Chains A and B, each alone.
Chain A
Amino acid sequence: NAGVTQTPKFRILKIGQSMTLQCTQDMNHNYMYWYRQDPGMGLKLIYYSVGAGITDKGEVPNGYNVSRSTTEDFPLRLELAAPSQTSVYFCASSPRVANTDTQYFGPGTRLTVL
């Protein structure tokens, strides 16, 4: 049981480039989330999904897009990379049993935009 997996682990982008951060979970969780963590800060929610085909914005969605075509996958797209998007990105999933909100996180993708 792999849990939540993320690829790549590290990436360096030039300003204006695009990329997709991949996230897959094998726990059959309906809820999935993307967070970013800047140095010395907590995690901030970028986008989330409550099921296949349903996504919504979090606290800091600007510059990102998501899609959710299957229960397992929740990719995060950066269209025009900017230095402000240098961060560590975490994907998480949750079964949301009885409205409890325990989320299970992947190992993260460290992105640098130069």
Chain B
Amino acid sequence: DQQVKQNSPSLSVQEGRISILNCDYTNSMFDYFLWYKKYPAEGPTFLISISSIKDKNEDGRFTVFLNKSAKHLSLHIVPSQPGDSAVYFCAASVSGNTGKLIFGQGTTLQVKP
């Protein structure tokens, strides 16, 4: 049972344009969501998070949107840069549940110069 799903294995965008990565979840108990970025041969790096009491969180070029009724979140990167090329994982957790994260399968983003 895949509780967190990233249905697009890959995404290619031009430098300077917007990248939109999507994530869906099934467990309505999830109340904290995170995005991680992963380069080859490195561990995942925390990017941005959002609590279920919000519907938007912004940090520089990165914005995460949460639609609780649709059980959907998205990560917007504007403008996209070649250095953003990486695998992006969304993850979800239930507060107070010892911090265990459930990860999606990942989306590989390629930003072309």
Interface: B69 (CB within 8 A): no
The size bracket of the interface on A is 20 to 34
CB pair B95–A40 under 8 Å, yes or no, is: no
Among the 9-residue stretches B11-19, B39-47, B59-67, B78-86, the one with 4 or more Cβ atoms under 8 Å from chain A is B39-47
> How many cross-chain pairs have Cβ atoms below 8 Å apart between A and B?
70
Which A residues between 1 and 56 are near B, CB-CB below 8 angstroms? 4, 31, 33, 35, 40-45, 48, 50, 56
A26 to chain B, nearest CB (A): 15
Are the C-beta atoms of A103 and B105 separated by less than 8 Å? no
Q: Would you call B45 and A105 a contact (CB within 8 A)?
A: yes
Extra contacts, 7 of them, besides A43-B101, A92-B43, A108-B41 (Cβ < 8 A), are A31-B98, A42-B103, A50-B98, A101-B32, A101-B101, A102-B34, A107-B41
Interface residues of B, Cβ cutoff 8 Å to A: 4, 6, 9, 32, 34, 36, 41-46, 49, 51, 89, 91, 93, 95-96, 98-101, 103-106
In the A-B complex, the 6 residue pairs with the smallest Cβ-Cβ separation, listed nearest first, are A105-B43, A42-B103, A101-B99, A101-B93, A99-B95, A43-B103
| A contacts, CB < 8 Å to B | 4, 31, 33, 35, 40-45, 48, 50, 56, 58, 90, 92, 94, 96, 99-108
